[in-house]
Amino acid sequence: MDCPCVNYKRRAMSETAEHIVEQSHPAAGRTLTGAEIIVQVLADEGVETVFGYSGGAILPTYDAIFRFNESQNAAMPLVVPANEQGAGFMAAGYARATGKVGAAIVTSGPGATNTVTPVRDCMADSVPMVLITGQVARAAIGTDAFQEAPVANIMSPVAKHVFMVTDPEQLEATVRTAFEIARSGRPGPVVIDVPKDVQTQQNVFRGSGVLPVPGYRQRMQALRDNKLSSDKCRAFFELFEASQRPLIYAGGGVINAGASQALRDFAHRFELPVVTTLMGIGALDTSDPLCLHMLGMHGTAYANYAVEDCDLLIAIGARFDDRVAGVPSQFAPSARAIAHLDADASEINKVKAVDWHHVGLFSESITQLTLYGQKHNVGTTPSAWHEHLTELRQTYPMNYDQESDLIQPPAVMQAINRQTNGNAVVATGVGQHQMWSAQYCQFREPRLWLTSGSMGTMGFGLPAAIGAAFARPDRQVIDIDGDASIRMNIGELETATTYDLPVKVLVINNNGDGMVKQWQKLFFMGRLSASDKSLHKKDFIKAAEADGFKFAQRLSDPAALDDTIEKFLAFDGPAFLEVEVDPDAGVYPMVGPGKTYSEMITGDYIATRGE
């Protein structure tokens, strides 16, 4: 029998995540199984791709997806990875590249526990995802049944919210509420644990309704209602007009809230220079003259010195984390005032005391400030500050060993830039290659830069790129990975070729855990404990060919870099390129743990203040 589900999208996505029922649902009143209800709500919520791996406890829902796609012309393709962790990161890559809620469905027990890392990764970086996990039948819960795991207990500390559905009549409202929670306020992952017998039990589909979560909705309503008053706008611009060296410090919250254009308008109207966090890259076009690029542990020297010199720091969607404000008391030491705009009240004064703050929707709040400043003819940032920043750029530019006989990783990033002009989606693993990508790659728009920030999860890059390729078929998608990081989820190479995705996988091979080795050289007297992979036997080219890559090449000649990168990116279909780079190349600048920006290590090719 065909699945009785229908392809019906009730509403458009919005920052408020309110449910607006414009007409009765065509499936309302029908009797559906719990699995069919799950699939119907997914379709209603606009889910276009589901990532997941099957198993006994989730089979009813997988069968419902199969029948839905048969009846709806494959409207919700199911993408099967090599591992459930890959499914979670694919859903995350989809969400990061689009701003929509990523969806993953896995089975019970190990299927669910394999997704703990991507759930935590999404929570740490505020990425909206709904994960549906199968569970043993209700009567077997707590008996150590086959493939049983206490999903709610395991996931609760790492997810935004967890539901365990024990009442079949609540299933429909639960799934709908999960999407509401995932995308509203500060986005995050929501887990729904569904026993197998709940998936098979039949219930009447209502076509509307959510769970009563009054406390959460009150907080969300308060967030939406908390507009910037004229008095608060005036107080902000009093700080601005009293400053001579204002600086915006923009984080991932700006991108997550879809507020990048509002930020750009604000910065341009008042000629405000901008530094971004790792997660905020792309909020401002990296080629914009106002963009000073990334700050923090591996930020540009001129961005960090700008933070040292500013007298007004304006934090927007940023949380003063340890990779940015390693020594909070010494962060922005010359700032006479700090302003902080965020969607999460818990971030205000959490790490750094501020002089002005507002908790509200980003785009609306930033626009309010811009309009107030225009209405009251507020001036622009003093030219002397811009001249000072230009001098910082010229004195402390990014640089590396350009005379080496070995390929230098920054040169690889620059070669990519020459081909993509900052318009490609770039996902990364975690390590040195991630930081070189952040430092040297260009991004014209938000949601082109996909990386694991707070969790720093190795193995993120390849599955995230696959998720992005499904989400953005209009864009070139590149996974810039490391030889150690890609090993973590290398099985997903086959996923790329199975679905014939034109993902370009570039592995920076420096024979080991490059960032760990860099720390060991600097702080552990060069003892390379468990980080040197030069004796490992992985032949990445053979691995890629075995997984179906028709383009699989190794590059070690610097003279062939540009030509090889051009051919690699132009290849029609999945392509794999291993670049053997200088194994001793380091990521600089670097602010050591527990150090201040004034103690920044810039290496041999970037100048340092006082030299």
Confidence band, pLDDT 50/70/90 cuts, at residue 23 = low
Domain assignment present for residue 26? The answer is no
Confidence band, pLDDT 50/70/90 cuts, at residue 17 = very low
Question: Do 230 and 209 reside in the same domain of the chain?
Answer: no
Alpha-carbon separation of residue 366 from 225, 250, 255, 275, 388 (angstroms):
15, 12, 13, 16, 26
Quick one: pLDDT at residue 106?
98
Q: How many CB atoms lie within 10 A of CB 37?
A: 30
Domain assignment present for residue 7? The answer is no
- Confirm whether 146 is a catalytic residue: yes
Q: In the sheet where 477-482 sits, what is the strand order?
A: 449-450, 425-428, 477-482, 504-509, 575-580, 551-555
Which residues, including other chains, have CB under 8 Å from residue 217's CB and lie 6 or more apart?
none
Quick one: pLDDT at residue 21?
41
* Mean of the per-residue pLDDT values of the chain: 96
Pairing of strands 31-33, 202-204: antiparallel
Quick one: pLDDT at residue 610?
73
Digit-coded pLDDT (tens) for 374-407: 999 999 999 999 999 999 999 999 999 999 999 9
Question: Do 198 and 234 reside in the same domain of the chain?
Answer: no
Give the span between the Cα atoms of 594 and 322, in whole angstroms.
9
Question: Can you list the pairs that 582-586 forms with residues at least 24 positions away whose Cβ atoms lie under 8 Å?
Answer: 582/401, 582/404, 582/406, 582/407, 582/408, 582/409, 582/510, 583/510, 583/511, 583/512, 583/514, 583/534, 585/400, 585/401, 585/406, 585/408, 585/409, 585/432, 585/510, 585/514, 586/432, 586/518, 586/521
- Confirm whether 196 is a catalytic residue: yes
Question: Do 420 and 565 reside in the same domain of the chain?
Answer: yes
Confidence band, pLDDT 50/70/90 cuts, at residue 611 = low
Question: Do 189 and 109 reside in the same domain of the chain?
Answer: yes
Question: Do 54 and 154 reside in the same domain of the chain?
Answer: yes
Digit-coded pLDDT (tens) for 310-325: 999 999 999 999 999 9
| Catalytic residue from among 66, 146, 523, 524 | 146
Quick one: pLDDT at residue 5?
86
Question: Do 382 and 427 reside in the same domain of the chain?
Answer: no
Domain assignment present for residue 192? The answer is yes
Flag whether pLDDT at 533 surpasses 90. no
Contact between 121 and 93 (Cβ < 8 Å): no
- Confirm whether 84 is a catalytic residue: yes
Last residue of a domain, one of 213, 243, 273: 213
Give the span between the Cα atoms of 157 and 155, in whole angstroms.
6
Confidence band, pLDDT 50/70/90 cuts, at residue 19 = very low
Question: Do 201 and 247 reside in the same domain of the chain?
Answer: no
Digit-coded pLDDT (tens) for 430-446: 999 999 999 999 999 99
What mean pLDDT do residues 284-309 have? 98
Helices 59-71 and 34-44: crossing angle in degrees, nearest 10, is: 50
Residue 425, amino acid: V
Question: Do 391 and 269 reside in the same domain of the chain?
Answer: yes
Confidence band, pLDDT 50/70/90 cuts, at residue 16 = very low
Q: How many CB atoms lie within 10 A of CB 396?
A: 22
Contact between 228 and 369 (Cβ < 8 Å): yes
Digit-coded pLDDT (tens) for 327-369: 999 999 999 999 999 999 999 999 999 999 999 999 999 999 9
Question: Do 280 and 206 reside in the same domain of the chain?
Answer: no
Last residue of a domain, one of 150, 180, 213: 213
CATH number at residue 364: 3.40.50.1220
Digit-coded pLDDT (tens) for 80-139: 999 999 999 999 999 999 999 999 999 999 999 999 999 999 999 999 999 999 999 999
Question: Do 299 and 158 reside in the same domain of the chain?
Answer: no
Quick one: pLDDT at residue 10?
56
Domain assignment present for residue 357? The answer is yes
| Catalytic residue from among 72, 147, 201, 261 | 147
- Cα-based torsion angle of the residue sequence 595, 597, 598, 603 in order, rounded to the nearest 10 degrees: 90
Pairing of strands 477-482, 202-204: unpaired
| Catalytic residue from among 84, 148, 308, 347 | 84
Domain assignment present for residue 311? The answer is yes
Range of the domain at 74: 31-213
Quick one: pLDDT at residue 536?
81
Domain assignment present for residue 376? The answer is yes
Report the number of distinct structural domains present in the chain: 3
Two tokens, residue 401? 């060993």
Q: Please report the DSSP string for 34-49 in residue order.
A: HHHHHHHHHHHTT---
Residue bearing tokens 């990779």: 323
Quick one: pLDDT at residue 20?
44
CATH number at residue 552: 3.40.50.970
Flag whether pLDDT at 53 surpasses 80. yes
pLDDT > 90: what percent of the chain? 94
Domain assignment present for residue 404? The answer is no
Flag whether pLDDT at 73 surpasses 70. yes
What mean pLDDT do residues 530-547 have? 91
Quick one: pLDDT at residue 534?
78
Confidence band, pLDDT 50/70/90 cuts, at residue 537 = confident
Last residue of a domain, one of 182, 213, 244: 213
Residue 581, amino acid: V
Domain assignment present for residue 572? The answer is yes
Question: Do 244 and 337 reside in the same domain of the chain?
Answer: yes
| Catalytic residue from among 515, 540, 551, 590 | 515
- Confirm whether 347 is a catalytic residue: no
The winner for highest mean pLDDT among 4-13, 297-306, 515-524 is 297-306
Question: Do 529 and 570 reside in the same domain of the chain?
Answer: yes
What mean pLDDT do residues 218-234 have? 97
Flag whether pLDDT at 261 surpasses 60. yes
12-21, 192-201, 386-395, 599-608 — which is least confidently predicted? 12-21
Quick one: pLDDT at residue 13?
39
- Distance, C-alpha 53 to centroid of its chain: 22
| Catalytic residue from among 100, 196, 232, 517 | 196
